[in-house]
Amino acid sequence: MEHTSNAENLPVPAELVQMLMEIGYVAIGRGLQSHAESIFAGVIAARPSSELPLIGLAVCKINFGDFLAASKILTDRALKINPDSGMAKCFLAIAIKTLGGGKESKELASQVAETCTDQAAVALAKSILAGKDIAL
């Protein structure tokens, strides 16, 4: 569910936006950090009222070890657009955990596991709570 802000979405077809998101995640998996960041920046420009490309950018930062940048993207941008985003909260929990905030991480994951309607976010939250979210 996309939440609106003052920014206007560009007239880019949803299918293209979805494809670009997928390509961004493939770039992360291939170790192409700068390419992934550029792709997500483009999707952010196309969909400034959606937290999803911001989550993609944060996942990129997490994957390449920049947990502080990821937490700032999620806190200052993604969760401002959609304060109820379970996925944003889960990836924030992962970033916070690696930065030494174990208690806060568990609180965020527990909140998502108990109250979120997004089943993928609930599954990720449960993985975080079980300690199966990341291998550092």
Q: How many residues does the chain have?
A: 136
What's the domain range around 75?
14-129
Tell me what pLDDT residue 60 has.
97
Residue 36 inside a domain? The answer is yes
CATH of the domain at 38: 1.25.40.10
Distances (CA, A) of 39 to 12, 16, 60, 71: 14, 12, 11, 19
pLDDT band at residue 65 under the 50/70/90 scheme: very high
Distance between first and last Cα of the chain = 32
Residue 7 inside a domain? The answer is no
Instruction: Determine if residue 100 is left, alpha or beta; phi over 0 gives left, psi from -120 to 50 gives alpha, anything else beta.
Output: left
pTM, two decimal places: 0.88
Helices then strands (H, E): number in the chain?
8, 0
Residue 81 inside a domain? The answer is yes
Tell me what pLDDT residue 130 has.
92
pLDDT tens-digit readout, 2-29:
444 445 767 788 999 999 999 999 999 9
What is the domain count for the chain?
1
Q: Which two tokens stand for residue 135?
A: 């291998």
Radius of gyration (C-alpha) of the chain in whole angstroms: 14
